[in-house]
Amino acid sequence: MKRSFDRRQVLMLGAGAAAIAALGIPGGPAYAKNDYEEVIAKFTGGKTPTPSKVKLDLPEIAENGNTVPMTVSVESPMTPQSHVTDVLVVTDGNPRAGVATFHFSPASGIAEANTRIRLATSQNIIAVAKMNDGSFFTASKAVKVTIGGCGG
Amino acid sequence: MSVKPRIKLDKKEAKKGDLVEVKALVSHIMESGQRKDRDGKTIPRKILNKFTCTVNGKEVFSADFEPAISANPYIQFRFRAQESGPVVLTWIDDDGSKIVGEESIKVN
Amino acid sequence: MLSRRDFLQVAAATAALVPGGWSQAFAQQRLTQAELLRFEATGNVTLLHIADLHGQLQPLLFREPSINIGVGDAKGLVPHISGRALLDHYKIAPGSAAAYALSSEDFTALAKSYGRLGGLDRIATIVKAVRAERGDRVLLFDGGDTWQNSYTSLITKGQDMVDCLALLRPDAMTGHWEFTLGTDRVKELIEKLGFKFLAQNIRDTEWNEPAFEAMATYDRGGVKIAVIGQAFPYTPIANPRWMIPTWSFGIREDELRANVAKARESGADLVVLLSHNGFDVDRKLASRVSGIDVILTSHTHDALPEVVTVGKTLLIASGCHGKFVSRLDLDVRDKQVKGYRFRLIPVFSDVITADSEMAALIAKIRVPHEKMLGERIGKTDSLLYRRGNFNGTLDDIICDALLSERDAEIALSPGFRWGTSILPGQDITREDIYNATAITYPATYRTTMSGARLKEILEDVADNLFNPDPYYQQGGDMVRVGGMSYTIDVDKPVGNRISDLTVTRTGKPLDPAREYVVSGWASVNEGTEGPPVWEVVMRHIEKKRVVAAAPMSRIRVLQR
């Protein structure tokens, strides 16, 4: 039986195309910006977070844009006196910036969470941590969502 | 239909102050609200938007999810063992329904 | 008339006398087995390393790259020095055996003089000799890309390689192309392997837990050695993810740091990373992860005659296709490498005796197929090779075959780094074609793509090769094209490297809005249909009878 090819099924259209399909947007230019700056500003009340203490762990190149493992952690003693309260995660290249907000307390013992996220295209993921003293810290990581194939 | 989440704790018993790792997976489409169907109509958003973990009734970790969280959401985190009791994980759907799963921890 | 063996000795003896360790041996001495194996042993541990055999059991011709561009911090550094510059860098005399083994310079002429390299039976001789000399101080490692990419490895699903490697008794391996056999077969082979398959950087996609053993420890020469495996981090991107849906890879630096710490805490005197990262990734990794004494690199097929050091970490690169065996002697005391001596041993097949046991097994594996594999399908008038950043001449032939046999306007062919070389005037055999195409997903698709989409694909693959940060590189060479030409500026950012896209047949620019009929192979997507690429290429060559291609006729490269 001759099988007709959907455009997305042809050679080397791997993770990127699949992710675009899931988010229902056409493949836009890499690093197209969304409203992530406003989302961060709302979270920090306009304060500029310091690039420190936060660690974002994602693969440099996504295997599958539909499900990219992400770990965010924040250096903190997590005591009643000094702890992380919230961590906002946004992206600058998805149609909408928001990914998740994690809420911690001294009962958490450690400010660390791992989940899997959708990335429509190559872009930056940004995490902003809010401490109980009202200070903010941040980190970002670029993830490439590639067409794939041709390697080796 | 109620969905049964799958939950893994890295230990069933812990010493007070130990960190306990929780991993949980739940089946859910996490419909982003940005996809269109064949007729070009937007498929309405339907995601699990909130996750909470309590230990012995006290919240130790929670999260708000956006549509950029993958289908069949996975969550992994840790908490500090303080007292024995049920470890209850709750996901809240856009439609208001809940998915609840429970394990327990014994703290020595 | 001189026999080849006599000639080799004469050639080596008459080569210019030059300073420097590795080449000097050739220049000053006769090319004999004793000389190739000569090594002033040092210390208490000997590491032997082979990598990237790509299913090759027999001696072969493999032309090293003439274009191997380095970007970012790797610009101008080995292994991104090729041809004459490489010879100058290592002070290797042009025309010498070393020059032939390590560079693309005068390949055709030197291949006729020095013959084929490799052969697992010759490698077995070397391994046995080193074991005889060094006793219990020896560890042998296979860096992976062993189980696939030849005819016999394809039809036996890697069994031929596993059986032959078993005779060689390695201590551990890691993998990349191995995974294109699919989850079940990989598990099945590992179960009966008889030695460790290590990969600290693979986790299951469901629970994020280690899917393979990360580390093994050995006692050799009174030294406790921890070996950590690192599989190719981008296997599910470069190769079909659907074949291994439950495994997630990645570089996983943090996990590696934790494993190194674990090794040290458990008392390891020496920590070795058996890596399939590719050289540039390993060079960056060595600068960021402390506590690794030796990285046995692979994947990018670099053959480096000297150790590269990054801080206290020693990096060695052992080439591919069985052309070389690396020997690294280490003096390990007080949990430190106090001294070392290294030699990249070239496996000149006419000089090194075949090990009879291994030779017999290889013969047994090949007998049922030997006649078919040896069948002549045509002849080449020019040197055919693949390795290099852009279209090799053999890739041009493959693309021509896709264009004509699949009636396409544009052809795309993967930038694999493996495949053997064929000299001008030589017959092309079926085996030559399998050596360049034997994969588990060989279907040649035929479809349409817009000019804009074609540019997008070239840009995407170019970034996987020329992103200035090695962690964002995928390690293959550039996708090969037929039916069109282009200019590439490697220093530009993603999306801006490719220009002057021109349709060869019309001489007109590639129209971004027009749909072109495209044929290619090695699609990473499940359900791709079409005849296997080797059939297409063989049919094309059989019709043409004689083929030829000029180097770099389709691509213009700019680099500042």
Residue C370 domain flag: no
Tell me how many helices (H) and strands (E) chain A has: 2, 7
Across A54-63, C14-23, C246-255, C379-388, least confident range: C14-23
Same domain, C332 and C411: no
* Spatial contact of B10 and B81, defined as CB atoms under 8 Å apart: no
Rounded to whole angstroms, how far apart are CA atoms C471 and C87?
29
Phi then psi dihedrals of residue C353, to 5 deg: -70, 145
Q: C348 with C441, same domain?
A: no
For residue C3, the model assigns a pLDDT of 54
The answer to whether C208 contacts B8, with C-beta atoms less than 8 Å apart, is no
CATH code: domain of residue A131: 2.60.40.2470
β-bridge partners, C436: none
Does an H or E element contain C79, and which? none
Same domain, C391 and C539: yes
3-class DSSP state for residue C125?
helix
* Residue C31 CA, distance from chain mean position: 25
Per CB-CB distance under 8 Å, the chain B contacts of C210 are none
Nearest-CA neighbor of A148 among C460, C178, C45? C460
Average pLDDT over residues A96-102: 97
Confidence of residue C122 (pLDDT cuts 50, 70, 90): very high
Residues C337, C436 share a domain: no
Rounded CA gap, C232 and B2, in Å? 41
Q: Given a cut of 50, is residue A80 above it in pLDDT?
A: yes
Across the interface, which of C412, C474, C521 has its CB nearest the CB of A61? C474
Cβ atoms of C273 and C228 closer than 8 Å: yes
d(CA A108, CA B78) in angstroms, rounded, equals: 7
SS3 content of chain B, % helix, strand, coil (to 5): 0, 55, 45
Please check whether residue C396 is in contact with residue C554, taking contact to mean a CB–CB distance below 8 angstroms.
Answer: yes
**Contact criterion met (CB below 8 Å) for C540 and C401:** yes
- Nearest CA to CA, how far is B23 from chain C (Å)? 7
Q: Lowest-confidence range among A23-32, A124-133, C479-488?
A: A23-32
Same domain, C414 and C329: no
Give the domain extent around A111.
31-143
Q: In this predicted structure, what is the pLDDT of residue C6?
A: 52
Distance CA A34, CA A117 (A): 17
In contact, C232 and C299? CB cutoff 8 Å = yes
Do C395 and C316 fall within a single domain? no
The answer to whether residues C389 and C435 belong to one domain is yes
What span, in angstroms and rounded, lies between the C-alpha atoms of A72 and A114? 6
Size of interface A-B (CB pairs under 8 A): 104
Query: Over 80: is that where the pLDDT of A31 sits?
Result: no
Q: pLDDT-derived band of residue C475, with 50, 70 and 90 as boundaries?
A: confident
Residues 6+ apart with CB under 8 A from C506: none
- With beta carbons under 8 A apart, name residues in chain A contacting B80: 78, 106-110
* The pLDDT of residue C18 is above 70: no
Based on the domain organization, do C357 and C389 belong to the same domain? no
Using the beta-carbon criterion (under 8 Å), do A113 and B55 form an inter-chain contact? no
Confidence check: pLDDT of C85 > 70? yes
Per the CB < 8 A criterion, the answer to whether A16 and A146 are in contact is yes
Task: Report if residue A23 sits inside a domain.
Answer: no
Dist CA A7 CA A26 (whole Å) = 13
* Residues of chain A contacting B11 with CB distance shorter than 8 Å: none
| C207 touches B at CB < 8 Å | yes
**pLDDT tens, position by position, A136-147:** 999 999 999 987
* Rounded alpha-carbon distances, angstroms, from residue C242 to C181, C196, C246, C529: 11, 25, 9, 15
Question: CA–CA distance from A104 to each of A51, A129, C496 (Å)?
Answer: 20, 10, 43
Give phi and psi for C366, each to the nearest 5.
-90, -25
**Secondary structure (H, E, C), C130-167:** HHHHHHHHEEEEECCCCCCCCHHHHHCCCHHHHHHHHH
- End-of-domain residue from the set C309, C340, C363: C363
HSE-CB for C125 with a 13 A CA cutoff: 23
Looking at the fold, whether C317 and C185 belong to one and the same domain comes out as yes
Prior bond to C493 cis, omega within 30?
no
Query: Is the separation of the CB atoms in C301 and C176 below 8 Å?
Result: no
Helix, strand, coil percentages in chain C from 3-state DSSP, rounded to 5: 35, 25, 40
Q: Verify that C421 and C398 share a domain, yes or no.
A: yes
3-state SS class at A37: helix
Q: Is C27 a residue whose pLDDT tops 70?
A: no
Judge whether C103 and C323 are in contact, CB under 8 Å.
Answer: no
Cα atoms found within 13 Å of the Cα of residue A47, Cβ hemisphere only: 15
Counting the structural domains of chain C, the total is 2
**Would you place residue A32 in the very low, low, confident or very high pLDDT band (cuts 50, 70, 90)?**
low
Structural domain span for residue C412:
375-558
Q: Is C245 on the interface with B (CB under 8 A)?
A: no
Domains in chain B and their CATH numbers?
6-107 (2.60.40.10)
- What's the average model confidence in pLDDT over A14-37? 49
What is the tens place of the pLDDT at every residue in C145-158? 999 999 999 999 99
Q: Residue C508 above 90 pLDDT?
A: yes
Write down the mean pLDDT value for chain C. Answer: 94
DSSP A133: T
Q: Which chains touch B (3 or more CB pairs under 8 A)?
A: A, C
pLDDT of residue C161: 98
What residues have CB less than 8 Å from C464, skipping those under 6 apart?
Answer: A61, A146, A150, A151, C472, C473, C474, C475, C476
Residue C25 included in any domain: no
- Asked if C234 and A14 come within 8 Å (Cβ–Cβ), the reply is no
Provide the percentage of residues in chain C whose pLDDT is more than 90.
Answer: 93
CATH of the domain at C416: 3.90.780.10
| Domain contains A1 | no
Distance to chain C for A114, nearest Cα, Å: 10
pLDDT digits (tens, 9 = 90+) for C408-456: 999 999 999 999 999 999 999 999 999 999 999 999 999 999 999 999 9
Share of chain B above pLDDT 90, in %: 95
Q: Does pLDDT of A4 surpass 50? A: no
pLDDT at C25 over 50: no
Cβ contact, residue pair B76, C206, below 8 Å: no
Contacts of C476 in chain A (CB under 8 A): 150-152
What are the chain B neighbours of C207 within 8 Å (beta carbons)?
8, 23, 25
pLDDT of residue B2: 64
- Domain membership of residue A150 (yes or no) is no
Report pLDDT digits (tens) over C297-336: 999 999 999 999 999 999 999 999 999 999 999 999 999 9
Count Cβ atoms within 10 A of the Cβ of residue B21 and give its class: 0-12 exposed, 13-18 middle, 19 or more buried: middle
Which tokens hold the place of B47?
């995601």
Alpha helices by DSSP H, listed for C296-355, are none
Pair C393, C301 in one domain: no
> What residue type is B27 in one-letter code?
S
Q: Which residue has the higher pLDDT, C47 or A147?
A: C47
- Number of separate domains in chain A: 1
In a domain, A149, yes or no: no
The per-residue pLDDT for range B34-77, each reduced to its tens digit, is: 899 999 999 999 999 999 999 999 999 999 999 999 999 999 99
* Residue C241 clears pLDDT 90, i.e. is over it: yes
Is the pLDDT reported for residue C387 higher than 80? Answer: yes
CATH of the domain at C140: 3.60.21.10
Q: Quick one: what percent of chain A has pLDDT higher than 70?
A: 76
Query: Above 50 in pLDDT, residue A25?
Result: no
Q: Is the pLDDT of residue C236 over 80?
A: yes
- Asked whether A111 and A74 are in contact (CB, 8 A), the reply is yes
- CB contact under 8 Å between B67 and A25, yes or no, is no
Going by pLDDT thresholds of 50, 70 and 90, the confidence category of residue C560 is confident
Of C436, C397, C442, C407, the C-alpha closest to C518 is C407
User: What angle do the packed helices C533-544 and C393-405 form, to 10 degrees?
Assistant: 90
Structural domain contains residue A102: yes
* Least trusted range by pLDDT, from A3-17, A57-71, C167-181: A3-17
> Are both C346 and C402 inside the same structural domain?
no
Asked if the Cβ–Cβ distance from B32 to A100 is below 8 Å, we say: no
Is C452 within 8 Å of A17 (Cβ atoms)? no
Last residue of a domain, one of C325, C343, C363: C363
Inside any domain, residue A2: no
* Beta pairing partners, C141: C49, C172
- Any residues with CB less than 8 A from the CB of C265 and at least 6 apart, and which? none
Closest-approach residue (CA) in chain A for B40: A24
Q: How far is CA B106 from CA B20, B53, B59, B62, B103, in A?
A: 11, 16, 17, 21, 10
- Domain end, chosen from C307, C335, C363, is at C363
Nearest Cα residue in chain B from C205: B74
C-alpha to C-alpha distance for B92 and B5, rounded to whole angstroms: 12
What pLDDT sits at residue C474?
A: 86
